[in-house]
Each structure stands twice: as C-alpha cells, then as structure tokens.
Structure 1
C-alpha cells in the first residue's frame, strides 16, 4: 500500500485499484468514512462467516450506520458508532446474542478500536 498526494487529498494505490481520499467529499472518501466502513464491513463479513459455520440459512445482510458521534473539540475524533444489522433469512433469534458476540470478538477492526471508540451493535431479522 502506498499513498501519494493529489491536488485535493491523497490517492491510495492498492492492489484492487486506486482510492481517492480527501477531507472534502467532492474529491474523495473522507478518512472517517473509511474508518466507519471498515468497522461495518469487517463486522458484516465476520457475521456472514459465523452464520455459514452455524449452517443458518440467510439471503442477505444489510448494515446501516445509525449513528456516528464525533468530538469536534478533539479534532473530530470518532467516539461512538452504532451499527445496525438487518439479516434476511431463517435465523433463530435466540442464537443472535452468540452470533453478535462472535462477530465482535473476531472482527479485527472492532478489536483494534474497542478501547477508544464505543461500538453499539443491534440487529433485526426479516
């Protein structure tokens, strides 16, 4: 991975392609959006693996970011993120606390920030 300065931010040169990053949304992804995306998608990927290993039938997982709390007095530091998982499928609700626990425990992004960002995870089954 490497990053080079561009007129309005930086370009990340990654194996899958270039990623435009800027503090201005008009020119690229904002750094905090990438942080939140990493938390959401890592968690969703782990949830998917857990559901597969438990042999639970599901068709879809949607992740909604319900809330992001930032502290403007500390450079816009992210203090809290609320991720809401919407699972479509024949999921047993009584298994969800264990699924959520395993998801949190095995998501490397959540584990990386758990002592500095409050992560709230909720779910619904459709």
Structure 2
C-alpha cells in the first residue's frame, strides 16, 4: 500500500477505491473511525461465517462499539466493547452466544493484533425481530 501525505489529509488509492484519512471530518475519515471499523468489519464477517457454518438463520447483524479513551496519554484507546446483535426468529442459548463470541475473538486477526495493548470485549446478543420491519 502507498499513501500520499497532503496538507490536511493522507490519501491512498486502494483496490476498492480512494481513501482519505484526516483528523478533520470534512477532509476524510478519522483514524479512530477507521481503526474501529476494521475491528467491526473483521469480527462481523467472521461472526457471519460462524452463523452460516452453525446453520443459525438470521435476518440481520448489527455491531455496536463503545470505547474508553485516555486523554492524558494521547487520547489512546484503552477499552473497546463490541456487541453483535443477531436479528433472528430462531433463538439460541446464552452458552451458544458465548461460544460464538469466543470463536470470533480467537480467530479475528484484527482483535488478536491489539489484545496485548487494548482491553477488548466481544459479546453476541440475540435481538428479536420487529415483525413490522420484515
């Protein structure tokens, strides 16, 4: 990968398209947004694969992320909590959810890359489907 540093952003032309990175939301994606997005993307794709292999039907997956940052140390990220909501009509147990979450953490390269420096919590929750929306 190659990146070009400009006055207000860093740019790259990647396989999928152009990427602009900037501390200003008006000039590109913020580094924090890209960092969290990579974790959500990796873990979400992996959870989707796990659900398919377990033949657990679902209609939608959503991941919500919260973080704790330390303003005294360059606003570094100290904790990340990722909660995956599996919208399904077929229930699964809390034990099954914990096993899926453990598999995601164990096999997600992005999460494994940061485990030594950031406390990461990944949880799978079943979400009831709203029959009016489907």
TM-score by length of 2: 0.87
Aligned to 1:120: 121
How many residues in Structure 1 have an aligned counterpart in Structure 2? 125
Structure 1: runs of 5 or more not aligned: none
* SS of equivalent to 2:26: coil
Q: CA deviation at 1:2?
A: 1.0
* SS of equivalent to 2:58: strand
CA contact (8 A) 2:42 2:110 kept: yes
Which whole-Å deviations, capped at 9, do the CAs of 1:95-117 have from their partners, x for residues lacking one? 11111110111100000001111
* SS of equivalent to 2:42: helix
Structure 2: runs of 5 or more not aligned: 128-134
Q: CA deviation at 1:62?
A: 0.3
TM-score by length of 1: 0.92
Aligned to 2:55: 55
The 2-side partners of 1:12 and 1:83 are apart by 28
* SS of equivalent to 1:123: strand
Q: Cα RMSD between the aligned structures?
A: 1.2
Normalized per residue, the structure richer in strand is 1
Matches within 5 A, 1:1-126: 1-65=1-65, 67-89=66-88, 90-93=90-93, 94-126=95-127
Q: CA deviation at 1:7?
A: 3.0
Q: Which runs of 4+ in 1 moved over 6 A?
A: none
The 2-side partners of 1:34 and 1:91 are apart by 33
The 2-side partners of 1:2 and 1:71 are apart by 30
Q: CA deviation at 1:123?
A: 3.0
